Amino acid sequence: MKKISLAMLFTIVSFWGATAQQDAQYTQYMYNTMAINPAYAGSRGVFSINALHRSQWVGLDGAPTTQTFNFNTPVSERVGVGLSIVNDEIGNGTNQDTYFDAVFSYTIPTGDQGKLSFGLKAGGHLLNIDFNQLQNYNPALNTTGNEDIDQRFSPNFGAGVYYHTNTFYAGLSVPNFLQTEHFDNSGQNAQLLARERMNLYLITGVVLDLNPNLKFKPAALVKAVTGAPLQVDLSANFMFNERFTLGAAYRWDAAVSALFGFQITDQFMLGLAYDREVTELGGTQFNDGSFEVLLRYEFLNQRRGILTPRFF
């Protein structure tokens, strides 16, 4: 199917914005932690830049795409800061959400290796909805009474906690506390009300040495939001010679994934992921799966480098 009908695309936009888990979805969450937990800022001990692109349901015209860009750095032994930008789009520009946040973290040592970080983020959300971007859109057929939205700004803030050692991590976060409502001028028709709901994230993982050249890195992400089923992501990665990573993941009742990572240099990392839906949508001829590309670059301290290798 090369073109998607107006009715089908409007249904997807409505479902995505009104009932589904609205925050952007990531398969490589274990490398993109600051996008969901502000307490992660500064935890790697160096100035770290991270960029990710995700194309959801490739082959389906108007399917979601997501780009994230963030950087973070420690500014002292206990304080970390950063900036996070997330752009989420569906319908070839029909619905575009852009989130930008300043991030702050404070870390308390809890032992020889353990550290507990508390994070805050503050920023806003820009919403743009342009119904003219829909395929074969005819304004005369818009019986909902909804109008375009041009870069509407909504402030928001979030928080998180993050505990880590050299081989284990766990975090709990709510990236956005405020539940902004859109289309609130739609009268009594509650089905047309879109609300930015609060998402709760739990992330955890561990690094296990199987032999001097092989590490096992299981990880999990649990995502909860009212009005949608609980989302559980489970992944298992194997790292060879601290350079190459191969693994697989399962998103409960949703998708299976393959993951690949390559630490090209001490500073530069490349990550790739491919998802295949296990739902009815995955068996359709116009859905070729979902792809992610992740790049991370870190500015090493010229005097110290990284004292302890970090694998998350």
Q: Give one DSSP letter per residue of 47-112, joined into a string.
A: EEEEEEEEE-STTSTT--EEEEEEEEEESSSSEEEEEEEEEEEETTTTEEEEEEEEEEEEEEE-SS
CB 189 within 8 A of CB 51: no
Residue 15 pLDDT greater than 50, yes or no: no
Question: 288 vs 4, which has greater pLDDT?
Answer: 288
pLDDT at 19: 37
Q: Of 51-55, 96-100, 179-183, which gets the smallest average pLDDT?
A: 179-183
- Domain map of the chain by residue range? 6-299
Beta-bridged to residue 48, according to DSSP, are 72, 298
Superfamily of domain 6-299: monomeric porin ompg (2.40.160.40)
Rounded Cα–Cα distance for residues 207 and 272 (Å): 20
Tokens of 154: 């909504």
Sequence-ordered list of residues with C-beta below 8 angstroms from that of 126, at least 6 positions apart, any chain: 96, 97, 98, 99, 100, 151, 152, 153
Helices (H), the chain: 6-18
Question: Rounded mean pLDDT of the chain?
Answer: 84
Tell me 94's DSSP state: T
Q: Of 7-16, 102-111, 152-161, 174-183, which gets the smallest average pLDDT?
A: 7-16
Beta-bridged to residue 155, according to DSSP, are 124
Identify residue 257 by its one-letter amino acid code.
Answer: S
Beta-bridged to residue 197, according to DSSP, are none
pLDDT at 21: 44
Sequence-ordered list of residues with C-beta below 8 angstroms from that of 222, at least 6 positions apart, any chain: 201, 202, 203, 230, 231, 232, 233
Residue 204 pLDDT greater than 80, yes or no: yes
Tens digits of per-residue pLDDT, 58-113? 988 888 999 999 999 999 999 999 999 999 999 888 888 999 999 999 999 998 88
Kindly calculate the radius of gyration of the chain based on its CA atoms and give it in whole angstroms: 20
Tokens of 308: 């302890």
Tens digits of per-residue pLDDT, 225-258? 877 889 999 999 999 999 999 999 999 999 999 9
CB 131 within 8 A of CB 142: yes
